[in-house]
Structure 1
Amino acid sequence: MSKILVFGHKNPDTDTIASAIAFDYYLEKLGYDSEAVALGEPNEETAYALEHFNIEAPRIIETAANEVSQVALVDHNEPQQSVNDIKDVEVTYVIDHHRINGFETAHPLYYRAEPIGSTASVLYKMFEEKDFDIPSAVAGMMLSAIISDTLLLKSPTTTQEDEKIAYRLAKIAEVNLEEYGLDLLKAGTNLSSKSAEELLNSDSKVFDMHGHQVQIAQINTVDFADVTSRKEEIIEAVNATLINSDVELFVVLVTDILENNSFAYVVGQNMDAVETAFQQQVFDQEIQLPGVVSRKKQIVPQLTDALEG
């Protein structure tokens, strides 16, 4: 039986790393030879969770075909978000909670995607269906993923299933959901030690929207001033990114995780589409997005529709 590498998207977030670890364990329970790997360094939030639950960070890869012929994708399916040589390997599994876009395979595969708050929630259901026990540390990482993707169950992406699963995982992991959750989210908001490039890359994805390449980064904070004071530096870093890529539009979503509000820096082409998508004006490369916290539900669909024309 050939080895399967399990990984999430580039610029990995907590759901990506945790889901790779959890699905690796799931595959091993099924008898497969698998390994969780990552397509980048864990961010500070994810590092906090890994240290708290005493789990070693997955090793980082840039290509997969030099090691294996089969891979499993978690928390993504869009090729531009995946490993650089995704076309050179066979995708045998996809576990996800995002839209399906630009994804195709030459062979049948196991594909499971649900409109739910995190990939870890989907995985919990799969563990439950197989009656597989979840080790405490793995449960802690899965809980961290749900907390991260749902902003401690406050994001509009949160479902009743996510809430139920989070409390069950908290019990297995032996942590208080609210206390641990707030500590986890705050761990990811230490922005002063990061360069502008690190801020952009810590949680960033490229999307194909009707042929337009759009990059959306999200920066979580507990004080907008921590970001607004660095506006010039951040936009300069965005412009450098645009020069070296085929991205046409770059949106930097800045979210206050305590107040559940956002604004965004917008750089590049199609400013009219941005204004149409959010019914707000872009002024001095900035747009106000009150009540917006979810890239997946409140940014990507709206921009995709606006760029269709």
Structure 2
Amino acid sequence: QSKTIITEKPIYVDIRPWGSMSTIIGHTFLTHKRRPTKCVAGMLLCAILSDTLNLLGPTTTDWDRLMVAVLADIAEVDDIQLLASRQFKAKSRELATLSAVGLVNGDQKSFSYEVNGGFVGDIGFAVVETTDDVVIMDRIMELIPEMVACKKEKKISMLFLAIVNIVKLRSCLLLCGPSEKSLATDCFHGELSHNSFVMDLGKRVSRKQDFIPVISKVLQSGWKRPNDIPRGLSATMELKELGKLEVDPNDPYGNVTRKTPDPPKQTDVVFITTG
């Protein structure tokens, strides 16, 4: 998202400050005087509701609201609230079946920074949107080691995972190391829990508007990793010790999991992640 794009020939790009790409697509249909089919209108409608959190997210614009009304009419959807509710519940059920690898990598974006005299590196930011954040939070002891392994595999400096409750419109942030904790504290000042591996983000729910702009501002202001913070797991363990990726042959969904040489006991995991 922050990398340079190089093309052989000039390309047409339509970028608008709206809440969903599908709003732009719907708008393009109308400006070209073409009526989308019922199925296409339904897909675009669901995409807008997902991207804007049922038009309640902070990135929602009047154009999104207008396009939802138009597409709902074409798709013959009488109850938009019911559609959004069923859609969010279905998404949450699917998330419950994902492995830690799937949750950490499913909706993850990388952002590059090169601040003169300051931070230089890539920061990964993953998001899990669900109607039941408790189910995801119960898997912290799976998610933290997976975040560390992902950092090492992708060779990124820091990795965050935000768990967003799309009903209550509240979030918490998983912090897999001391660098993440230090930066998040300077950015969001949220209350820490779970041995300082979880930060309450309050009503912040949007990576595009609430999370990345704040991180970018703090980094651009000269933030550096403090010298006195301890080394994290990613600096003290080899990737092979964290396990390798493989498809679970017993999983009906074909989930990719991380196979460790010797599965650690619960107490071992707690010791590793708090070190």
- Normalised to the residue count of structure 2, the TM-score between the two structures is 0.72
Matched, 1:207 2:111: yes
Q: Per the alignment, do residues 303 and 144 of structure 1 end up closer, same or farther by CA in structure 2, a change over 3 Å counting?
A: same
Look up the match of 1:272: 182
More helix per residue: 2
Matched, 1:112 2:14: yes
Look up the match of 1:263: 172
Runs of 4+ in 1 over 4 A off after TM superposition: none
Deviation at 1:235, TM superposition (A): 0.5
State the Cα deviation string for residues 267-309 of structure 1 (Å, max 9, x = none): 2435332222213355512111010111111111111111222
Matched, 1:306 2:208: no
Contact kept? 1:274, 1:306, Cα under 8 Å: no
Match of 1:194 among 85, 98, 106: 98
Look up the match of 1:147: 49
State the Cα deviation string for residues 79-99 of structure 1 (Å, max 9, x = none): xxxxxxxxxxxxxxxxxxxxx
- Describe how 1:1-309 pairs up with structure 2 within 5 A: 78=1, 102-175=4-77, 176-190=79-93, 191-210=95-114, 211-268=120-177, 269-280=179-190, 282=192, 284-308=196-220, 309=222
Distance, in Å, in 2 between the alignment partners of 1:232 and 1:133 is 49
Distance, in Å, in 2 between the alignment partners of 1:280 and 1:103 is 35
Distance, in Å, in 2 between the alignment partners of 1:292 and 1:147 is 18
Distance, in Å, in 2 between the alignment partners of 1:179 and 1:253 is 26
Amino acid at match of 2:102: E
Amino acid at match of 1:181: A
Look up the match of 1:71: none
Could you say what the CA RMSD is over the residues aligned between the two structures, in angstroms? 1.8
Contact kept? 1:266, 1:282, Cα under 8 Å: no
Distance, in Å, in 2 between the alignment partners of 1:155 and 1:252 is 18
User: Number of residue pairs matched?
Assistant: 211
Contact kept? 1:220, 1:256, Cα under 8 Å: yes
Q: Per the alignment, do residues 106 and 304 of structure 1 end up closer, same or farther by CA in structure 2, a change over 3 Å counting?
A: farther
Amino acid at match of 2:40: V
Which stretch shifts more, 285-294 or 193-202? 193-202
Contact kept? 1:118, 1:149, Cα under 8 Å: yes
Deviation at 1:205, TM superposition (A): 1.4
Amino acid at match of 2:84: G
Distance, in Å, in 1 between the alignment partners of 2:97 and 2:180 is 32
Query: Which runs of no fewer than 5 residues in structure 1 stay unpaired?
Result: 1-77, 79-99
Query: Which runs of no fewer than 5 residues in structure 2 stay unpaired?
Result: 115-119, 223-275
